A and B are shown apart, each in its own frame.
Chain A
Amino acid sequence: MKKFLISLSVFLLAAFVTQYVVYTVFKKVLDSKSKFRITRYFRSPKHKYFVLGNSRGVNSINEKYATEKLKLDIINLSFNGMPYQNMAAILTDVNSKNTNAVIFVEISCLNNNEFDNSYSYYSSNSTIIKKQFSGSVYNMFNLLRLDNELFLRNIYYLKKSDNDWVNNYTITQSIIDKIKTDTSFKIAPNKDLFATRLAELQKTCNDHGNRLVYFLAPYYPGYLYKISDYNSVLSYMSENSKTYQFINLNKEKMTDDMFADRLHTNVKGSVLLTTDLVALSK
């Protein structure tokens, strides 16, 4: 029994130390080398323009085009399925490190209520994110912070840049045909919560002297009628135009070959939208 208890204690201690060492080594290397956009931000947090949102934010604003052709100091921090809480934490971090910046937020991510533990990956990079995970298991077992897609993406982008990560294919006729059978949905299923969140983000940016610009990335035109609260969201933004700067990119003249699917634009669409968003925000 004594031998068993000693062996078990040594095993647990060694496991605990090893997971800490493995985490520290991985994090150090990835934080200094990876070109994944959120890691790039934490390495160099000062920029003029920021974009935040979910996959619609990723695919509508083309960072590579904006940097190389429009000569803008911009970073697109949007990520697939980014929930509001995680987005708000990054936005607060951006505000704490920048002034006079322009922050674009794609409003369809304001409705995502799920909290994503993947962002624990960045809890050592940001006191705001660290606070969100305080008291959780991620504090005790550091290696758990790497148990997510963000870690894998950081490895993937060790050698290549991700600033041109925009869908590079065109919507197919079968996807267009399928729209008829799609169920309708809402951008803001809970209107009060939507309003509260708009105000929260605005206050954070105002407090730090940064300009917040809300925008709605385009949906495939033939899909717009499936959004049951599309007009009411636009009305709300219009009624509050003195409080919030809002740009509806669905007004742009978009052709079918600018869409990757019903929800996302492709490279061609993103080039047009990036130019227009920056111009309209001035």
Chain B
Amino acid sequence: MLPKFLHKRKIDGERMVMGISQITLGFFKKIAVADSIGLMVDNSFQNLHVISDLQILIAVVLYSFQIYCDFSGYTDIALGLGKVFGIEFNVNFNRPYFARNFSEFWERWHISLSSWLRDYLYIPLGGNRKGEIFTYRNLMITMLLGGLWHGVSYNFIIWGGLHGLFLVVQRQIKFKLPKFIAILITFSLTTITWIFFRSHSFHDSIFIVERIFTMHSFQLLTVFTIVKLFYLVGVLLIMDLFFFNYFEKNTYATFAINIFLLVNILLFGTFSSNAFIYFQF
């Protein structure tokens, strides 16, 4: 990345406008989606023993979107600022929840970390060049250390271990699932791994998994908030599906999308100070 700062930079009005668009998208993801979800998720994870199973399930699913929007929003703001100042950074997220399997997920999620893990751990360990068993070993070691990169905690190790396990298992699956089903399964399994990433303790993680697989209680405490959050997640998915990288063109449509996102930020944003989740890592 450092050489990018050493290049002579030119002022490019077109790129600067694109940068502002990407920053707008980043703020939408962070302030409107991630931080709004964060309030509900934090409250739910602090009151696991009081809220219903359905409320826990919704909190877990929404957390998947919180962490995605928090981190990719942060990346969009950084990339957008880079464009404004004439520096091009590499893309770090490429619609990860539309991945059809875990290999694809890691090609789309936190690309800077996954590339580093691939280049400096997986390949030096031998990659897939020494037969099946060694490939599985290398995948597990890489993902376990990837988990440990986030912090010294059993939960992060389990999170990495589960990703390693899913990468190994998917190599055994020979048949091809319909695209939508494959995306849904990958997303669901990724969401389960996030439980370990988000929980305060291993005990809490197991409690959550038990609750969402038994589903006995269904009262929702914050219906209005939940409806609002699903709307925001809907907007996010539409953006990812139909308007991904919309900021790479300066058209009237780009302008209209920016205004739409800004209106949503003002209408649904959470403006109390919330640090980016990845600042702790």
Contact = CB atoms under 8 A, between A and B. Distances in A.
B224 A3 contact: no
Nearest to A150: B224
A15 B224 contact: no
A1 B16 CA distance: 8
Given A14-B255, A152-B228, A153-B224, A143 B266 contact: yes
B220 to A, nearest CB: 13
Contacts of A2: 13
Say whether chain A's binding surface is mostly helix, strand, loop, or mixed.
Answer: helix
A115 interface: no
A146 B228 CA distance: 12
Interface centre among B227, B263, B267, B268 (most CB of A within 10 A): B267
A17 B271 CA distance: 21
Interface stretch (A4-12, A69-77, A241-249, A272-280): A4-12
B266 A147 contact: yes
B259 interface: yes
Given A4-B13, A153-B224, A146 B267 contact: yes
B109 to A, nearest CB: 30
Contact of A1 (B11, B20, B258, B268): B11
A106 B247 CA distance: 53
Contacts of A147: 266-269, 271
A3 B263 contact: no
Contacts of B54: none
Contacts of A22: 263, 267
A8 B20 contact: yes
B245 interface: no
Contacts of A15: 258-259, 262-263
Contact of A7 (B20, B228, B259, B271): B20
A113 to B, nearest CB: 17
A14 B263 CA distance: 11
A143 B267 contact: yes
B51 interface: no
B48 interface: no
Contacts of A231: none
A18 B17 contact: no
Contacts of A156: 224
A141 B224 contact: no
B266 A14 contact: no
Nearest to B261: A15
Contacts of B269: 147
A158 interface: no
A144 interface: yes
A149 B228 CA distance: 9
Contacts of B11: 1, 4
B132 interface: no
A116 to B, nearest CB: 13
A22 B258 CA distance: 15
Given A8-B20, A15-B258, A143-B266, 9 more contacts: A3-B14, A4-B13, A7-B17, A7-B20, A15-B259, A144-B271, A147-B267, A149-B224, A151-B267
22 contacts: A1-B11, A2-B13, A4-B16, A4-B20, A7-B20, A7-B250, A8-B17, A8-B20, A11-B20, A11-B255, A14-B259, A15-B262, A18-B262, A18-B263, A19-B263, A143-B266, A143-B267, A147-B267, A147-B269, A152-B224, A152-B225, A153-B224
Interface of B: 11, 13-14, 16-17, 20, 224-225, 227-228, 250, 255, 258-259, 262-263, 266-269, 271
